[in-house]
Amino acid sequence: MASIPIAVQTYRHRSIPGSSQRLINVFAEPQPREAKFPLFVLPTEGLIRFTTLPDGPFRGALRFNDVSYVVSGLNVYRVDVSGTETSCGVISGGGLVTMADNGSQVVICVPETGQAWVVEGTTLTQVTDADFVSASSVTVLDGFHIFSQSNTTRFFISALLDATSYDGLDFASAEASPDNIVRVQRVGRLLWIFGERTIEFWSNTGAADFPFQRISGELIERGCAARDSVAVWQSTPFWLGDNRLVYRGEGGRAERISTYAIEQAISGYERVSDARAAIVEREGHTFYVLTFPSARPNGGATWVYDATVGVWHERESEGYGGIWRCSGAWEFGGATIAGDANDGRLYVLDPTAATEDGDPIIRTWVGVPQHKEMRRLFFTRLALDCETGIGALTGQGSDPQVWLRISQDGGRTYGPALWGSVGRRGQYRTTIEWRRLGAARDVVFQFGFSDPVLLTVYAIHLEAEVGED
């Protein structure tokens, strides 16, 4: 038997027979040279209930010292590390919010209404200063809260360390190009102004009249297609470009990170302006999670870029229309917390959890096409090399099963599931193999499992004979 290439990323090209690889709720992790195999396919994180807020859905959160402020439904909650919430008050309705703090005040901006609220302790106050204008996003830099003004080229700032006070003259406009501002975002020591077609960089010069000034000569001639696609990890921003390509900032320039296959998919989406992003860190991996909730009439899609490895996979939650159920994530209390897109549930993302709050996770990986110069291949044996003997003690998953489905048309359609046992608890010598799998000129193998176990795949071995025709 010979090992065949294992899929390392989702790359389902428009021409499916050429490339149909998919990783759904699993991801690839390269291993050191001395490991048994150079690559493992690991399950994505499960979800454990952290708490359930009385109102939902989740709209945004920010860690502030030893608590988190969470916007869920119409309410703002102060949540401690035990999951106990205290209601701070009610804000206007809408979708996701942006939030930022200056060390003593947390500001919440609701883009649909242009309004903002300030939270101090458990006191929630709407910004009512006459010089505050309609805002679409907020960030903070050097003690100033900075807002993009809705549907304009302008941004404006609060007073220093006072998010309730504004001066009608404390504003500036994007200068290099007259495109409307989509989002303001602090990235390291700089203010990034994401426009519809360009991105500018501003810094704090300390000038008395207006402290921020554009960095001359620095410009990215690429805009942002979705305000909530912007996410920052360690001074590296990620966003969906105005051309429907996905970028990250690298040295003051836009570096394309999406693949041709992903770009083909995004180009066909009905709507991308509501795309939302989150950063999830897990055991050395940093994932940029980009969700398109209304990509298609019958559902959306969630694409995940592993910034550590440089490859993509997909995530889906059962009952959520083809998307991952979490609409945002943040670090809090030594864990990653995420909020549900449909209700007030908050979760801990846990790599040792095998379900999403008790709901099954269907994990699928589709390998690379198997062919030999258009000659007929006779498949006599296929073996899956993976971690075995990992069954649950009782109930569902006590005898976990993995399925194999075979496509003889290059990944367009698949036959019925052929099942194999991963082994009950402690049955470490279990062998997973299928025999007499027929013949074809172009075959794609699909594997998957839904039992609540954490299955790690190492390799796929295939025994085949080449026919005369």
Q: What is the largest CA-CA distance in the chain?
A: 83
Residue 55 pLDDT more than 90?
A: yes
Name the pLDDT band for 46 (thresholds 50, 70, 90).
very high
State pLDDT tens for residues 241-295.
999 999 999 988 999 999 999 999 999 999 999 999 999 999 999 999 999 999 9
Question: What are the pLDDT digits (tens) for 64-99?
Answer: 999 999 999 999 999 999 999 999 999 999 999 999
Q: Which helix (H) or strand (E) holds 43?
A: strand 39-43
For 10-30, how does the pLDDT look when each residue is reduced to its tens digit (9 = 90+)?
999 999 988 999 999 999 999
Amino acid at 432: I
The whole-number pLDDT of residue 181 equals 97
Domains, in order of start, for the chain? 2-44+363-466 (2.60.120.260), 46-350 (2.130.10.10)
pLDDT for position 72: 98
pLDDT digits (tens, 9 = 90+) for 318-339: 999 999 999 999 999 999 999 9
Cα–Cα dist 220/352, whole Å:
41
232 pLDDT above the threshold of 90:
yes
* Position 164 pLDDT exceeds 70: yes
Taking alpha carbons only, the member of 68, 172, 62, 158 closest to residue 116 is: 158
**Mean pLDDT on 383-398:** 94
| pLDDT at residue 4, as a whole number | 79
Q: Is the pLDDT of residue 452 over 90?
A: yes
At residue 469 the predicted structure's pLDDT band, cuts being 50, 70 and 90, is low
Q: Which segments of 173-322 does DSSP mark as H helices, in order? A: 260-267
- Which residues does 73 contact at the CB level (< 8 Å), separation at least 6? 53, 55, 56, 57, 59, 344
Predicted pLDDT at 468: 67
If you count DSSP H runs as helices and E runs as strands, how many of each does the chain have, helices first? Answer: 1, 41
Parallel, antiparallel or unpaired: strands 190-195 and 199-204? antiparallel
